[in-house]
Amino acid sequence: MKPTDKCEPVPVCNQIKQAQVWVGTIFVNTWRNLTLLTVVGVTTMLVVACGADADQSAGNNNQGALNPDQTQSPMSDSLLLAQGKQIFRFDTFGDETQWTDTLRMHEVIRTAVDPLTALSVGLKVDSEALPPPVVEGIKNGSIDLKAPDTTVALLKLNAVVGLQGKVETINGKDTLTRVGVTCALCHSTVDNSFSPGIGKRLDGWANRDLNPGAIIALSPALSATMKAVYNSWGKGMYDPRFNQDGKNGPQVIPPAYGLDGIHRITSTGDGEDVAYWNRYVGITQMGGHGTFIEPRTGVRVTNGTDDQITPKLPALQAYQLSLKAPPPPSGSFDPVAAARGKVLFNGAARCVTCHSGPELTDANFRLHLPAEVVSEPEPNGTPSYASRSATGLYRTAPLRGVWQHPPYFHNGTAATLEAVVETYNTKQSLGLTESEILDLAQYLKSL
C-alpha cells in the first residue's frame, strides 16, 4: 500500500462508481460506536456486545445467584445465524439519532477523517468489501488515502468495520449525511491480510487497536472537559458506565467469542445471557432505539419511540454464541513448558480453584467479592468497577483464546500473561519460582 498526497487523474469517486459495475448495488448503511459515552465492551470489551432481556428490563435481583442447570446454546437454524451475523455486522438499531443528530460525527468524518487517520485510531477496513478496481487503486497509490472523500467512498462501499454511513449525492458530490455504529466496531477486527488494518473480518475478536475515547472526543457537540475524559482512555479501553454514573474507569474491550455455555458473560456478571448485555450496550451506549431498565443500578434509558432491538436479540445472541475462541497459532508456545504449567495450574498455583470446568470458569455457579480478585484496587484511585455494577461482584474470566487479547484483567493492568501470573503469585503468596511463572504463562498461551 503506497499512500500519496496527490490525486491521480482518475478521482476516487469515479473509481468507486466503476467498482459498482463489479459489485452491483451497494448497501448504504450506518457507522458505529465511534463516539458515545461508553461502548465496548468493547470485550470487548468489552465485551462483548450490546443489551438485556426480552421484557425490556434487567429486573434480575438475585445478586449473582446462578442456576447451574441453565443452558445457553446457539440455535442450529442456519437462517437465524445468518440473520444474527447481519445484525452483528451491520445493524445500528437506529443509533444514527445519537451519532448524527446529537454528536454530529458525520460532519467530522466527511471533513476531517481520511483513511490513514481512521486506521491510526484503530478503525478497520473489510478487504472483501472492496471491488478489484479499488484494491488496485490502493495498491498503486491512485486512490488518495489522505482524503476524507476516500473514507466516504469506503463507507458507501460498506467496507468500514462497525460503521454504517448514508451517502447521498449533493451538488454532484458523494456526501456523508448520516452515520451510526454496530456491534462489530468494538468486537470485530481484521486479519491484516491486505495491509495493517485492512483484511478479512474476524468477528468476535476484541478490537484492541480501537481508541473509542479519541474518536468520541472528535465530536463538536462535547465540552472540553468531556473530551479530556474520553482522550484519557487509550487504545482498547472503554467505560460502559461513564455516561450513566459519571465515574471515569475505562475497561478493556472484551472478546465476544467463546461465550457458549457461559451464563455470565460480563466481568461483573450482571446478566445471565448475552442478550442482557446486547440490550444494555445497544441502548445505553450505542444509542439504539428501545428501552433498558436495571433496578439494581437505577439505570432507566429509553431512546426513540420504537423498539429496534428486542426483536433482534435472539438472532444476535445465537450468532455470538456460535463464535468459537481461536486456537493458539502454531509455534506460539512451548508445549513442554506448557505441560509443566498445566500441572501448576491444577496444583500449586491453585488456578483451578476458580478456573474450573470445560470453560475454565466457575461463573455459572458463583461470583466473587472484590476482595477476592487480584485486579483491584483500580488504577488512579478509580472506584471499584464492581461497585458500579448491578451485582457488586466479579465473575471468573473464561480462558479459551486468552492468548489473543492482551492486556489482561478487567482494567487492563497486566500487559502480558506472565504479568498476570506474577500478580497472582505476589498477591496470593503462591511462592512460585521465576521458571514456574514462565511455565504457567506458557500453559495459558496454549488454551
Supply the pLDDT for residue 77. 87
Grid coordinates belonging to 445: 498461551
Residue ranges in the chain whose pLDDT is less than 50: 1-75
CB 297 within 8 A of CB 389: yes
Grid coordinates belonging to 45: 470489551
Cell 496444583 sits on residue? 347
Grid coordinates belonging to 81: 445465524
Supply the pLDDT for residue 76. 56
Work out whether the CA dihedral 213, 219, 221, 224 comes out positive or negative: positive
Q: How many CB atoms lie within 10 A of CB 9?
A: 6
DSSP 164: E
Supply the pLDDT for residue 17. 43
Q: What angle separates helix 335-345 from helix 434-445, to the nearest 10 degrees?
A: 100
Q: In this structure, what are the phi and psi dihedrals at residue 86, rounded to the nearest 5 degrees?
A: -65, -40
Supply the pLDDT for residue 423. 98
Q: How many residues does the chain have?
A: 447
CB 362 within 8 A of CB 396: yes
CA 89 to CA 164: how far, in whole Å? 9
CA 437 to CA 420: how far, in whole Å? 9
Burial class of residue 61, CB neighbours in 10 A (0-12, 13-18, 19+): exposed
| Nearest partner of 391 among 284, 275, 268, 262, judged by Cα | 268
Supply the pLDDT for residue 420. 98
Beta strand 125-126 with 198-199 is parallel
Grid coordinates belonging to 242: 461513564
Supply the pLDDT for residue 361. 97
Grid coordinates belonging to 56: 425490556
Instruction: Count CA atoms closer than 13 A to 15's CA, side-chain side.
Output: 25
